[in-house]
Amino acid sequence: MSVTTYPPQPTLQFLRDRVNHHLERIYADVDEFEISPQLGDELLQIMGISDDVCEAPQHRNLWDQQDVFVICYGDSLLAGHDIPPLEVLQHFLETHSDGLLGGVHILPFFPWSSDDGFAVLDYSSVNESLGTWHDIEAISERYDLMADLVINHCSSRSLWFQNYLQGKSPGKDFFYEADPDADLGAVVRPRTSPLLKKVETVNGEKHVWCTFGHDQVDLNFRNPEVLKQMVSIIRFYLERGVRVFRLDAVAFLWKIPGTSCLNLEETHEIVRLLRVLIEHWRCDAILITETNIPNRENLSYFGNANEAHCVYNFSLPPLLVNTLITGNCNYLRQWLMSLPPAQNGTAYFNFIASHDGIGLRPTEGILSDREISALIETMEAFGGRVSYRALDNGVQKPYEINISLFDALQGTVHGKDSLGMQRFLCAHAIMLALEGIPAIYIHSLLGTRNDYARMEHAGHNRAINRHQWDYGKLETALADPDSDHCKVFEGIKRLVAIRREQPAFHPNATQFTLQLGRTLVGFWRQSMDRRQSIFCVSNVARKARKLALSDLNLIETDQWVDLVSGEALEDIRGYITIEPYQTLWICN
């Protein structure tokens, strides 16, 4: 991403008023903690914001069509005990990305006790098995660095929680306690483990809230000391080069027994407050909310362009996979038509694979139970696993499918076939052309398969798609033009290179969904200056399909070419044959 700087403006009093306004709304109903009238000034002091305030325009885009992220763990690539994995990652990016990947999301690189990093022991340290802050800063100097702010919970083995048990600070009153007899039946969460964990403290037996499992204890943001600690961590990350903050599991932040404890207004207000503080420290900083929830709720985190700059487009992965295995794009098309254009200053964060799985909650209200079952059965036939969540009646419901995307697309509902490579590249071509900022999981970039050994060793399904590559073996695979890994890597790189040159693929460029039947996914993109149009058409069926170019309403006076194949369209009133899983980017 290009870094845009703005002249400092003397708006400290205005900023102080904004901060205090958010705090008043957050703590309006909190009576168990004393809320100091100086809390706003304390937060500004913690952030180091003084007389000169950086004012970030609310509706200014901080990205363009050249922005493509890669998502990875700090140890996705290993080269022996003598070389820190973060150093290996940087070498890979500089050697193989050829300037195509502008941003990198390194999943939690802190010391942790479980959940592959998301049970944080110490927010201020880099896991010594990965490297040091020097390695993190070196990557941030070359790439836009996204880091996780694991804001909802921390490890039960952290210093904070151990201090909580002993009634010491920092940690005292840092964790949310609940009465096991309280009305908690409406609480929505993505796990099947008991919500509350009984612990012995110096003050007697307590029950602490654990949304994601008993090693991940939820922080109590009703206590302003927790907010102050998190703001201090944010500034620490900013000073070390983090530009993009991924607010992990933020939808669960605020708790009120008797409610769903999901997407509460206080949670939204905290996101607004953090945005104000972060963007006035660094004007081009970006907040992304990670909210694996139904689409309508997910979109609410845009606010009025005053909450998240970007929201994860969680409905895209399951709907796109479903489209490609059924050969029917009706649901994907209907969903695309329902997506409101992101305001300037906001953008969708598009992905089709991640370190977790293919979430099923975002399909609620879109796919029927029967169709979700068919999707699950197909993924299980391709070696995938299913993770569940518990409903309030004790019933377990499928929450996500755990599988590598390359394996997920090796066939259709009719079974495996020989078109897996074409289907896989088609999925990325669709994602790269859509409105929004694309992010590619490193194991999709490398065509990694299901890792059953790692899943068995880790003891949880998600590890199936968290392979650790031996860097020497990877280099050998990428150098072999006959290997699937090389074909995938070069194919995706080529698509990214084409995307980066097209103004019509700006994340906020106009998008209009085309009606081309059930087997052709089509949408039109137009650059913000209206000088470039691209008609994106993909055949999601196992058989070739004919497209009547007259259906696209191409302007006769323009010269049209398919950017993917490089072939010119001579007769825009004729027909063109689209092979199985072929994508056309028809551009003037």
Per-residue three-class SS string for 181-235: CCCCCCCCCCCCCCCEEEEEECCEEEEEECCCCCCEEEECCCCHHHHHHHHHHHH
Q: Is 399 left (phi over 0), alpha (psi -120 to 50) or beta?
A: alpha
Residues 465 and 525 in one domain: no
Q: What is the CATH number of the domain that holds 341?
A: 3.20.20.80
Integer Cα distance of 20 and 200 in angstroms: 37
Integer Cα distance of 311 and 8 in angstroms: 28
Written as six digits, the tokens of 330 are 């009706």
Q: Which residues, 6+ apart, have CB-to-CB distance to 525 below 8 Å? A: 433, 435, 504, 505, 509, 510, 511, 533, 534, 536
Residues 412 and 547 in one domain: no
- The pLDDT score that the predictor gives to residue 9 is 52
Domain extent for 330: 69-156+219-265+291-505
Q: How far from each other are the two terminal CA atoms of the chain, in whole angstroms?
A: 26
Cα four-point dihedral sign 557, 563, 564, 567? positive
Integer Cα distance of 538 and 552 in angstroms: 13
The answer to whether residue 561 sits within a structural domain is yes
The answer to whether the CB of 116 falls within 8 A of the CB of 143 is no
* Closest C-alpha among 211, 154, 152, 212 to residue 178: 211
* Closest C-alpha among 524, 566, 517 to residue 539: 517
The answer to whether residue 258 sits within a structural domain is yes
Beta-bridge partner residues of 469: 77
> Beta-strand (E) ranges in 489-541?
510-513, 520-526, 533-539
**How far is residue 265 from each of residues 132, 159, 218, 303, 532, measured CA to CA in Å?**
38, 30, 18, 11, 41
Would residue 75 show up in a list of annotated catalytic residues for this protein? no
Dihedral (Cα; 226, 229, 235, 241), 10-degree rounding? -90
* Structural domain ending residue among the three candidates 505, 527, 543: 505
Residues 490 and 534 in one domain: no
The answer to whether residue 550 sits within a structural domain is yes
Integer Cα distance of 334 and 346 in angstroms: 22
Question: Mind spelling out the 3-state secondary structure of 334-381?
Answer: HHHHHCCCCCCCCEEEECCCCCCCEECHHHCCCCCHHHHHHHHHHHHH
Beta-bridge partner residues of 521: 538
Integer Cα distance of 208 and 8 in angstroms: 44
Residues 541 and 478 in one domain: no
Residues 363 and 484 in one domain: yes
> Beta-strand (E) ranges in 403-476?
411-412, 415-416, 437-441, 469-470
* Closest C-alpha among 93, 103, 486 to residue 284: 103
Residues 127 and 238 in one domain: yes
* Structural domain ending residue among the three candidates 450, 471, 505: 505
Q: What is the CATH number of the domain that holds 532?
A: 2.60.40.1180
Residues 479 and 570 in one domain: no
The answer to whether residue 332 sits within a structural domain is yes
The answer to whether residue 525 sits within a structural domain is yes
Catalytic one among 115, 144, 148, 248? 248
Integer Cα distance of 112 and 291 in angstroms: 22
* Closest C-alpha among 371, 358, 372 to residue 402: 358
Sequential pLDDT tens for the chain (588 residues): 555 444 445 478 889 999 999 999 999 999 999 999 999 999 999 999 977 777 676 789 999 999 999 999 999 999 988 999 999 999 999 999 878 899 999 999 999 999 999 999 999 999 999 999 999 999 999 999 999 999 999 999 999 999 999 999 999 999 999 999 999 999 999 999 999 999 999 999 999 999 999 999 999 999 999 999 999 999 999 999 999 999 999 999 999 999 999 999 999 999 999 999 999 999 999 999 999 888 899 999 999 999 999 999 999 999 999 999 999 999 999 999 999 999 999 999 999 999 999 999 999 999 999 999 999 999 999 999 999 998 877 789 999 999 999 999 999 999 999 999 999 999 999 999 999 999 999 999 999 999 999 999 999 999 999 999 999 999 999 999 999 999 999 999 999 999 999 999 999 999 999 999 999 999 999 999 999 999 999 999 999 999 999 899 888 888 999 999 999 998 888 899 999 999 999 999
Hey, how many other C-beta atoms are within 10 angstroms of the C-beta on 108?
23
- The pLDDT score that the predictor gives to residue 6 is 42
* Structural domain ending residue among the three candidates 487, 505, 523: 505
Integer Cα distance of 212 and 247 in angstroms: 15
Residue recorded with tokens 């993770």:
387
The answer to whether the CB of 486 falls within 8 A of the CB of 479 is yes
Residues 479 and 577 in one domain: no
> Torsions phi, psi of 42, nearest 5?
-65, -40
Burial class (CB in 10 A: 0-12, 13-18, 19+), 371: middle
Residues 468 and 516 in one domain: no
The answer to whether residue 175 sits within a structural domain is no
The single-letter DSSP state of residue 284 is T
One-letter amino acid at 300 equals: S
Beta-bridge partner residues of 520: 539
Residue recorded with tokens 């008991």:
194
Residues 403 and 535 in one domain: no
- The pLDDT score that the predictor gives to residue 10 is 46
**How far is residue 271 from each of residues 40, 57, 70, 145, 173, measured CA to CA in Å?**
15, 17, 24, 20, 22
Residue recorded with tokens 């993190």:
136
Residues 372 and 392 in one domain: yes
Beta-bridge partner residues of 32: none
Residues 357 and 420 in one domain: yes
- The string of DSSP codes covering 10-29 is --HHHHHHHHHHHHHHHSTT
The answer to whether residue 390 sits within a structural domain is yes
Count structural domains, the chain.
Answer: 2
The answer to whether residue 25 sits within a structural domain is no
| Residues recorded for the chain | 588
